[in-house]
Amino acid sequence: MLIFALDSTAVVGSVALCRDDTPLASFTVKNGNTHSETLLPMAKALFDVTGYTPDDVDVFACSEGPGSFTGVRIGVATVKGLAFGKNKTVIGVSSLEAMARNLLPASGLICAVMNARRGQVYNALFHANGNELTRLCPDRALAATDLETELLARGEPFYLVGDGVEVTTSAFQSLTPLPVASIAAEKNALGVAACALRLYKEGMRTTDQELSPTYLRLPQAERERLEKEQAKKGSEQ
């Protein structure tokens, strides 16, 4: 089964092509360009170097969130466009689970974090047994200080991965994560493909029409609008 996967939910943009759980090729960039400029050229290069075309793909996959609102939308729209009219399976996966899966075959507690701004992180916790992940909580947005309190209560060593590592460790007062190689800590589409393969084996058969972003929080513009409305109501009372 041929799987095309991409991730654009954070600063890194990444695409990959896998035959089941075997990577065939992948490209990852972190050069400041917007994902709208890089994803399609990377996808074209991916197919060019492997000799496949989008018509050969059996499963299209992407990180559906959480993450950057713009990045999530671009990734979902790109996969929808590539899969449109092909009657192929399209699977959206958690960007946090995809990051955690990149650490396998590690064992222990994995804490995936993405910078959600305003002192918060998007987070999910997983336990790895060397071969598979067990999810310990749903994807969520919470204060980095609250995450530290939860990890202190667990009282076990943990790995910290994702683009929220720096903001998280800066907020932590009493915890130090286990060392992680930088190449494993970064997001990439191979983890997305691995998550999609798991979901496909479990029976997921969604379509491009059913794929939709997962934000966890309202977009910044919507939050600011609501804040202004609340402030206006307060001044009128």
What was the pLDDT predicted at 186? Answer: 77
| Low-confidence stretches of the chain (pLDDT beneath 50) | 219, 221-224, 226
What was the pLDDT predicted at 221? Answer: 46
Percent of the chain with pLDDT over 70: 90
| Structure-token pair, residue 47 | 């197919």
pTM: 0.88
| Structure-token pair, residue 195 | 């998550």
Domains and CATH numbers, the chain: 2-97+187-221 (3.30.420.40), 104-185 (3.30.420.200)
What was the pLDDT predicted at 184? Answer: 78
pLDDT, tens digit, 9 for 90 and up, residues 69-81: 999 999 999 999 9
pLDDT, tens digit, 9 for 90 and up, residues 135-160: 999 999 999 999 999 999 999 999 99
Average pLDDT along the chain: 90
What was the pLDDT predicted at 227? Answer: 52
pLDDT, tens digit, 9 for 90 and up, residues 206-217: 999 999 999 986
Q: How far apart are the C-alpha atoms of 211 and 220, rounded to whole Å?
A: 22
Give which of 142, 133, 127 is closest to 216, Cα–Cα: 142
Give which of 181, 218, 8, 180 is closest to 93, Cα–Cα: 8
Q: What is the CA radius of gyration of the chain?
A: 18
